[in-house]
């Protein structure tokens, strides 16, 4: 990923866009953070937030007309948050939090004519930027602020803010009247001059202030700037004046530095933001009216009012995705992490696990207002990791091993229908259905053949694990191999039960006419939902998210069976992955457990699904889960409470299914089993979950024991009668502790590692 691509990714995630209140504040005050601090009753933090952007805070917080409230998303849901009142509440409760830090002197002088609020703010901003500011006024500085009732601006507050300016180095001078002569004199000693409309200027000077550039507040004469152009009737008199003073100060700074006044200048947002905030679950709540006479909130009232704040955030994807929550941030930050991960030459790639944990399910893309796809971000990152040989070897090892086994001659079976020389269709159940439900696979094959006699069968794998693991070359080769075999069959229609297979065929092999079995199947005559079956929550597989036709077909089938469905809000295009997709379970089993717990917490109903891995994964939580085949073929139905099958059973089933089909359907002679398959093995039941967790197959165990028999090499305990052996299968070293009883191996322990040991010979 290069910088340009990173920018493109980042620009799609709008979580860092300002909330409407900040976008509506001419001073850019972070009103959302301020109000959230007020929710906590933390006046100090609240004030600190105001101090970051608010000039003359004692005055501004007291009289700002709060245009932000105009843009508040609460507006029509009980009234905008009373940010202005909350600011007053804060300013009168918490003292100044931090010292105002000014940049070191730039050795340049600037002048400000007029003592109105806009002039004070221009002086404030310029002094902060390190300029020597001289402010000349004909009346006492403060202008019309001095006329405000003392209940609104106590005189001591104005004096305090003027003292602050003085402390910042602003030099106050007075003139009888502010005339063009005064301006001419100031110009002789200052590089730029600000003339505040809201000061008491004489008419001649006022006449010089025509034709101001609204964006920069620059006057036609070079080095002159103005602001404070708001009369007493102006609805936003104060905030408009000070915003203009600030805009002018920015221009004066740029002018004195000799840079463009407009290039890359932040544009006023006038309330516009791209931040999306869902108001779906926001209930109306009326604005809190101050109970005291002076129109100020009590601390309790302030908190109650602040609590009405929606705390505008997008986070549409994060709210729904356990994976995105797990890593504590949101896609914009995640894309930066992926970029940084690739940029690291030495050191720890802390984002590898993050990249490999995404289920690639695509829910975020549906939820995101700008279609940000974590799936694409993570998949492309995986592909680059594989290409650059940086993919952690163990990340997807087991799933890839499973896939390669399913594609090997030991397990794969491709046949025309018995007695047929051509097939108009071929049944491709998918590698996992064949492994988990061999009986139902055969029942479904029967059923399909009852409609289309010439339907062939293909027990194999579509290569999805290679795709999910980012192994482009291997995935392409699997696809090419598939096409070769498929063409040999006469390019038949491919009927599959598996949404992942369907997705892979449709995306990667568009010339293959692939269809979902569910969309072409009518229920068998004897099929029906069991009597008194409660409504079931139908979970769509994530790979069927965009396959509306299959979703609808499945619902029609279920309705035909008389099965009622319970409500499950996150279904259809918003469905959630079970943790099998994208190989999440391989890279991050602990996260998968959380994903599953979250999924079953969304309904109290039992689940129904039409993806066998969804069935097996969800069943791990203990929640009853049926597969649609359990309803379609009652004679082969499995209990919804049945625990998921272990990895070794799945592999044994797959092997047995091939043999059964070869014998029963095709009358073929079965090739003799591998020699290691003859090893007589007994495994203590308490060891089974450990083998499952460590992903050690009984096939692996038998192979290691057979290799031990061949080599005659093992360790024997001196007194306990146990033996220890090991062998390397592929990249993994397997260790077995066992007792040999006659010719039966009683396995007691098994473990594995990838590090390669070698004794140092001296």
Q: Which residues of 653-682 are buried (b: 16+ CB within 10 A; e: fewer)?
A: bbbebbebbbeebeeeeeeeeeebeebeee
Contacts of 289 by beta carbon, 8 Å cutoff, 6+ apart? none
Q: Are the C-beta atoms of residues 650 and 658 closer than 8 Å to each other? A: no
If we measure between CA atoms, which residue out of 320, 377, 319, 326 comes closest to residue 545?
A: 320
Least gap, CB of 711 to other proteins (angstroms): 9
Query: How would you classify residue 169: left for phi > 0, otherwise alpha for psi between -120 and 50, otherwise beta?
Result: left
Contacts of 550 by beta carbon, 8 Å cutoff, 6+ apart? 499, 502, 516, 518, 519, 544
Is residue 759 close enough to count as binding other proteins by CB under 8 A? yes
Least gap, CB of 645 to other proteins (angstroms): 24
The three-class DSSP label of residue 618 is: helix
Contacts of 662 by beta carbon, 8 Å cutoff, 6+ apart? 413, 668, 670
Quote the distance between the C-alpha of residue 295 and its chain's center: 43
Stretch that binds other proteins, among 138-146, 189-197, 392-400, 508-516 (CB under 8 A): 392-400
Least gap, CB of 754 to other proteins (angstroms): 5
Is residue 151 close enough to count as binding other proteins by CB under 8 A? no
In terms of CB distance, is 280 or 693 closer to other proteins? 693
Task: List the one residue from 350, 422, 671, 710 that touches other proteins (CB under 8 A).
Answer: 350
Is residue 689 close enough to count as binding other proteins by CB under 8 A? no
Is residue 758 close enough to count as binding other proteins by CB under 8 A? yes
In terms of CB distance, is 276 or 733 closer to other proteins? 733
Quote the distance between the C-alpha of residue 483 and its chain's center: 36
In terms of CB distance, is 197 or 723 closer to other proteins? 723
Q: Which residue has the tokens 């069943």?
A: 619
> From CA 422, how far away is CA 432, in angstroms rounded?
26
Least gap, CB of 714 to other proteins (angstroms): 5
Least gap, CB of 724 to other proteins (angstroms): 7
Least gap, CB of 758 to other proteins (angstroms): 5
Task: List the one residue from 167, 189, 507, 753 that touches other proteins (CB under 8 A).
Answer: 753
Is residue 760 close enough to count as binding other proteins by CB under 8 A? yes
Contacts of 710 by beta carbon, 8 Å cutoff, 6+ apart? none
CA distances from 134 to 187, 242, 306, 611 (A): 11, 18, 40, 76
Q: Are the C-beta atoms of residues 223 and 193 closer than 8 Å to each other? A: yes
* Other CB atoms within 10 Å distance of the CB of residue 261: 17
Stretch that binds other proteins, among 148-156, 401-409, 477-485, 752-760 (CB under 8 A): 752-760
The partner residues of 428 in beta bridges, in order of sequence, read: 496
Cα angle for residues 88, 89, 92 (degrees, 5° grid): 80
Is residue 349 close enough to count as binding other proteins by CB under 8 A? yes
Least gap, CB of 717 to other proteins (angstroms): 6
In terms of CB distance, is 666 or 735 closer to other proteins? 735
Is residue 686 close enough to count as binding other proteins by CB under 8 A? no
Least gap, CB of 348 to other proteins (angstroms): 5
Instruction: Mark residues 72-111: x for contact with other proteins by CB under 8 A, - for none.
Output: ----------------------------------------
In terms of CB distance, is 457 or 587 closer to other proteins? 587
Q: Which residue has the tokens 């008389």?
A: 562
Chain residues 562-601 in contact with other proteins, contact rule CB under 8 A: none
Is residue 384 close enough to count as binding other proteins by CB under 8 A? no
Least gap, CB of 353 to other proteins (angstroms): 7
Is residue 451 close enough to count as binding other proteins by CB under 8 A? no
First to last CA, the chain: 48
CA distances from 452 to 426, 427, 695 (A): 10, 11, 40
Instruction: Mark residues 643-682: x for contact with other proteins by CB under 8 A, - for none.
Output: ----------------------------------------
Least gap, CB of 695 to other proteins (angstroms): 13
Phi (first) and psi of residue 410, to 5 degrees: -65, -30
In terms of CB distance, is 606 or 700 closer to other proteins? 700
In terms of CB distance, is 487 or 754 closer to other proteins? 754
In terms of CB distance, is 393 or 622 closer to other proteins? 393
Cα angle for residues 457, 459, 464 (degrees, 5° grid): 125
Chain residues 416-445 in contact with other proteins, contact rule CB under 8 A: none
Chain residues 690-709 in contact with other proteins, contact rule CB under 8 A: 694
Q: Are the C-beta atoms of residues 595 and 322 closer than 8 Å to each other? A: yes
In terms of CB distance, is 560 or 737 closer to other proteins? 737
Is residue 173 close enough to count as binding other proteins by CB under 8 A? no
Task: List the one residue from 328, 347, 419, 672 that touches other proteins (CB under 8 A).
Answer: 347
Q: Are strands 744-753 and 732-741 parallel, antiparallel or unpaired?
A: antiparallel
Contacts of 731 by beta carbon, 8 Å cutoff, 6+ apart? 393, 397, 754
In terms of CB distance, is 61 or 400 closer to other proteins? 400
Least gap, CB of 716 to other proteins (angstroms): 5
Q: Are the C-beta atoms of residues 316 and 584 closer than 8 Å to each other? A: no
> From CA 641, how far away is CA 647, in angstroms rounded?
18
**DSSP structural state of residue 760:** P
Task: List the one residue from 268, 271, 392, 535 that touches other proteins (CB under 8 A).
Answer: 392
In terms of CB distance, is 400 or 444 closer to other proteins? 400
Least gap, CB of 436 to other proteins (angstroms): 28
> From CA 742, how far away is CA 259, in angstroms rounded?
91
- DSSP letters of 1-26? --HHHHHHHHHH--TTSPPHHHHT-T
Q: Which residue has the tokens 């829910």?
A: 363
Instruction: Mark residues 703-742: x for contact with other proteins by CB under 8 A, - for none.
Output: ---------xxxxxxxx----x-x------x-x-x-----
In terms of CB distance, is 506 or 749 closer to other proteins? 749
> From CA 622, how far away is CA 579, in angstroms rounded?
16
In terms of CB distance, is 335 or 352 closer to other proteins? 352
Least gap, CB of 338 to other proteins (angstroms): 14
Tokens of 550: 């299959």
Is residue 352 close enough to count as binding other proteins by CB under 8 A? yes
Is residue 393 close enough to count as binding other proteins by CB under 8 A? yes
Contacts of 321 by beta carbon, 8 Å cutoff, 6+ apart? 363, 364, 374
Phi (first) and psi of residue 136, to 5 degrees: -115, 125
Tokens of 362: 């695509």
Least gap, CB of 595 to other proteins (angstroms): 21
Is residue 272 close enough to count as binding other proteins by CB under 8 A? no
In terms of CB distance, is 385 or 640 closer to other proteins? 385
Stretch that binds other proteins, among 470-478, 610-618, 673-681, 745-753 (CB under 8 A): 745-753
* Other CB atoms within 10 Å distance of the CB of residue 451: 11
In terms of CB distance, is 469 or 640 closer to other proteins? 469
Number of residues that bind other proteins (CB under 8 A): 37
Q: Are the C-beta atoms of residues 357 and 586 closer than 8 Å to each other? A: no
Chain residues 190-229 in contact with other proteins, contact rule CB under 8 A: none
Stretch that binds other proteins, among 150-158, 204-212, 346-354, 553-561 (CB under 8 A): 346-354
Stretch that binds other proteins, among 50-58, 164-172, 240-248, 345-353 (CB under 8 A): 345-353
Least gap, CB of 393 to other proteins (angstroms): 7
- Under the rule (CB under 8 A), what is the footprint of other proteins? 347-350, 352-353, 392-395, 694, 712-719, 724, 726, 733, 735, 737, 749, 751-762
């Amino acid at each position: 990923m290069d910088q340009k691509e990173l920018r493109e990714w980042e620009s799609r995630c709008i979580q860092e866009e300002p909330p409407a209140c900040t976008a509506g504040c001419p001073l850019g005050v972070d009103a959302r953070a301020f109000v959230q601090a007020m929710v906590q009753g933390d006046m100090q933090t609240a004030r600190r937030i105001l101090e970051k952007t608010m000039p003359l805070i004692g005055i501004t917080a007291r009289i700002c007309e709060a245009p932000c409230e105009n843009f508040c998303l609460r507006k029509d849901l009980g009234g905008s948050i009373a940010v202005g009142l909350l600011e007053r509440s804060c300013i009168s409760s918490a003292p100044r939090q931090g010292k105002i830090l000014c940049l070191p002197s730039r050795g340049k002088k600037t002048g400000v004519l007029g003592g109105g609020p806009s002039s004070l703010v221009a002086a404030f901003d310029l002094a902060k930027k390190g300029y020597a500011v001289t402010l000349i006024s004909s009346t006492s500085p403060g202008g019309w602020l001095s006329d405000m009732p003392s209940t609104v601006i106590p005189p001591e507050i104005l004096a305090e803010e003027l003292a602050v300016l003085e402390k910042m180095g602003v030099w106050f001078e007075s003139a009888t009247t502010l005339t063009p002569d005064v301006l001419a004199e100031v110009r002789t000693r200052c590089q730029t001059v600000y003339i505040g409309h809201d000061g008491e200027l004489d008419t001649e000077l006022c006449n010089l202030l025509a034709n101001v550039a609204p964006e920069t507040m620059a006057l036609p004469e070079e080095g002159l700037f103005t602001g404070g152009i708001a009369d007493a009737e102006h609805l936003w008199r104060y905030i408009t004046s000070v915003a203009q003073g600030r805009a002018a100060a920015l221009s004066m700074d740029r002018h004195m530095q000799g840079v463009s006044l407009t290039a890359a200048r932040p544009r006023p947002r006038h309330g516009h933001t791209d931040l999306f905030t869902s108001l779906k679950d926001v209930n109306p709540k009326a604005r809190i009216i101050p109970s005291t006479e002076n129109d100020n909130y009590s601390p309790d009232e302030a908190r109650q009012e602040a609590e009405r704040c929606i705390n505008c955030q997008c986070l549409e994807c994060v709210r729904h995705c356990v994976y995105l929550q797990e890593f504590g941030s949101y896609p914009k930050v995640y894309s930066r992490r992926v970029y940084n991960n690739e940029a690291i030459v030495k050191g720890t790639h802390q984002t590898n696990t993050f990249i490999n944990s995404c289920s690639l399910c695509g829910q975020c893309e549906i939820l995101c207002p700008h279609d940000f796809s974590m799936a694409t971000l993570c998949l492309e990152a995986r592909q680059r990791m594989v290409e650059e040989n940086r993919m952690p070897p163990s990340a997807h090892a087991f799933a890839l091993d499973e896939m390669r086994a399913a594609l090997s001659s030991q397990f794969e079976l491709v046949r025309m229908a018995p007695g047929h020389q051509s097939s108009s269709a071929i049944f491709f159940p998918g590698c996992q259905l064949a492994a988990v439900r061999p009986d139902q696979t055969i029942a479904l094959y029967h059923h399909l053949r009852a409609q289309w006699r010439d339907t062939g069968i293909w027990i194999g794998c579509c290569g999805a694990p290679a795709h999910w693991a980012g192994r482009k070359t291997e995935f392409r080769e699997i696809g090419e191999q598939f096409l070769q075999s498929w063409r040999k069959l006469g390019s038949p229609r491919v009927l599959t039960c598996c949404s992942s297979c369907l997705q892979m065929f449709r995306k990667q092999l568009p010339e293959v006419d692939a269809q979902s079995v569910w969309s072409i199947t009518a229920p068998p005559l004897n099929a029906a939902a069991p009597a008194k079956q409660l409504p079931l929550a139908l979970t769509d597989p994530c790979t069927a998210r965009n396959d509306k036709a299959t979703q609808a077909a499945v619902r029609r089938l279920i309705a035909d069976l008389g099965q009622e469905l319970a409500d499950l809000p996150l279904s259809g295009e918003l469905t959630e992955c079970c943790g099998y997709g994208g190989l999440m379970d391989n890279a991050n089993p602990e996260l998968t457990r959380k994903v599953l717990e979250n999924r079953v917490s969304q309904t109290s109903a039992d689940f129904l699904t039409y993806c066998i891995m969804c069935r097996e994964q969800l069943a791990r939580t203990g929640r009853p889960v049926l597969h649609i085949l359990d309803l379609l073929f009652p004679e082969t139905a499995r209990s919804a409470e049945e625990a998921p099958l272990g990895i070794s059973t799945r592999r044994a089933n797959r092997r047995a299914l091939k043999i059964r089909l070869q014998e029963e359907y095709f009358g073929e002679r079965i090739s003799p089993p591998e020699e290691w398959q003859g090893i007589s093995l007994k495994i203590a039941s308490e060891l089974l979950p450990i083998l499952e967790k460590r992903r050690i197959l009984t096939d692996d165990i038998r192979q290691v024991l057979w290799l031990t028999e061949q080599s005659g090499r093992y360790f024997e305990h001196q007194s306990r009668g146990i033996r220890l052996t090991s062998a390397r299968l592929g990249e993994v070293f397997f260790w077995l502790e066992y007792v040999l009883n006659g010719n039966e191996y009683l396995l007691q322990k098994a473990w594995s590692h990838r590090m390669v040991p070698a004794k140092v010979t001296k």
